[in-house]
Amino acid sequence: MPAIQPVPYRTLVRIFEGDGFIFSRQSGDHLIYTKPGIKRPLVIPAYRAVPVFIIRNLLRTSGMSRERYFELLAEV
């Protein structure tokens, strides 16, 4: 399995929208996404390159596996 690399926030938006998350609102440079069945909203910062630790936290919050992440990343 490849290592998680920093990616632009627009790529993360496409990945999580592909997994069923819906844009809820924006607060400054942070995009808020929700999905039925997920207790906490995802907060995606609008960074040119989102750091790996934020991507890992987003995966944990969303309940998405690394395999699913790389599968959706390949489609983007």
Cα 44 off chain centre by = 6
Give 16-69 pLDDT, tens digit per residue: 999 999 999 999 999 999 999 999 999 999 999 999 999 999 999 999 999 999
Distance CA 7, CA 18 (A): 16
Say which residue the tokens 């992440």 belong to.
Answer: 69
- Residue 1 — very low, low, confident or very high, per pLDDT cuts 50/70/90? confident
pLDDT at residue number 58: 97
Query: Does the pLDDT at position 76 exceed 90?
Result: no
Distance CA 3, CA 68 (A): 14
Show the tokens assigned to 29. 């440079």
- pTM of the shown model: 0.93
Cα of first residue to Cα of last residue in the chain, in angstroms, is 18
Query: Does the pLDDT at position 5 exceed 90?
Result: yes
Domain coordinates in residue numbering, the chain: 9-75
Q: Which CATH class is domain 9-75?
A: alpha beta
